[in-house]
Amino acid sequence: MTFITTSTPTVNPPREHSKAHRLLELLGTGTGASLEDIIEATGWQGHTVRAAMTGLRKRGFTIQRKIEGSTTVWSISEHEA
């Protein structure tokens, strides 16, 4: 009999007090954050915010996107925050 084991993907969190850590906090609030919220909190431009979210995905975080009216809101699951 052969057993196949799968490992849980490891999540590599950013350094504390970094802008990427702040982004992670914003996405993990439960309600998520819009692009405008993230820009205001970090001082980044929109393309930098989207690139940082891609970086978090590459670190193993699952980022969800939903549309509320005319606003896109991104969030991560609470156990990853």
Q: What percent of the chain has pLDDT over 90?
A: 43
Output the CATH code of domain 19-80. Answer: 1.10.10.10
Q: How many helices (H) and strands (E) does the chain have?
A: 3, 3
Q: Distance between CA 78 and CA 9 in Å, rounded?
A: 16
Q: Which amino acid does the sequence have at 77? A: S
The pLDDT value recorded for residue 50 is: 93
What average pLDDT is seen over the chain? 83
The pLDDT value recorded for residue 19 is: 82
The pLDDT value recorded for residue 6 is: 42
Lookup: tokens for 6? 């799968």
pTM of the model as a whole: 0.74
Task: Answer for the pair 37, 44: CB distance below 8 angstroms, yes or no.
Answer: no
Domain boundaries defined on the chain: 19-80
